[in-house]
Amino acid sequence: MHPSKEQAAEGFAREEAAGVPRDAGSRNYKDDNHKPEVIVALSETFTALAGLRDLAATRRLVDALGGGAGVDALRERLSADDDAASLRAAIGWLLGEAAREEIEQIVSAAASATSDEFAAELALTRALSSAYPADPGIVVALLMNLVELRRGEAVFVPAGVLHAYVAGLGVEIMAASDNVLRGGLTPKHIDVPELLALVDFRPAPAPLLTPSPAGAGAEVFDPRIADFALGHLTAGASTARLDLRGVSLVLGVAGEAHVTGASGAVLTLKPGQAALVTADESPIAVRGDGEVFVAMPGA
């Protein structure tokens, strides 16, 4: 997950004052900025974990695991009347207090359990357990929304939201920051107290982001933040046009896109090629069989 701008500024100043080297593996805050992000699926499917699932559903999933010391301990921590408090207690226990044997018992129960409602979640547990044996992050993943994006669908991840990208190809845009607080499934540093202080433990649906139409052949994924918006143009049989909001980056992702600026200058982008476009070239027009994404300033 990523901190808010205020949390990042405070954490960065604290680690600077403590003399923690900026390249230290144990450092949480590399800079003083936040890091909201959007990812749009390019592959036919894209698998992600984003946010914490409705607690009633999570309790049903845990019930499908049966019993055992680890499962019973997890179930107990998810039993508080306050949903956010339950999830905080469960994740804090998993990352900081649970014994390896308890984690292994939960993972084993999930690997052998069956459930029509949670078949995809249990299958992901089996895949993760082979890659990260006995990692408590496997069980944290069981508490999260499992999202299967189709091509062209997107997720917006604001501050405080636990997330992980599991499989697939996408176009990602984010604020300029390297601040990451980790919760498992990684050999990198995990600062459990700092993570627990910043995570938004309120359960909520996956934070999907629907694009807004921006004219023929154009749409904009706009999370309504100042840092960025992401345009998407597909010309097809007609010309697609987009008004830029400032200096922008145009990225080709499919076919051959002929991009024309207001000055009449034309450039051709193939997949993986990108160009910087100045604000005075707005609007841009895209012709051909190509598809492009446009990174530009936000609202």
Q: Which residues are catalytic?
A: 182
Residue 279 CB partners (closer than 8 Å, separation 6+):
244, 246, 247, 248
Residue length, the chain?
299
Two structure tokens written together for 68: 């055992």
Residue 57 CB partners (closer than 8 Å, separation 6+):
117
Distance CA 50, CA 274 (A): 29
Two structure tokens written together for 22: 């900026």
Quickly tell me which residue has 């107990």 as its tokens: 76
Q: Is the Cβ–Cβ distance between 38 and 174 less than 8 Å?
A: yes
Two structure tokens written together for 268: 């051709």
For helices 119-131 and 100-112, give the axis angle rounded to 10 degrees: 130
Q: Which three-class secondary structure state does DSSP give residue 256?
A: coil
Q: Is the Cβ–Cβ distance between 36 and 156 less than 8 Å?
A: yes
Q: Which three-class secondary structure state does DSSP give residue 100?
A: helix
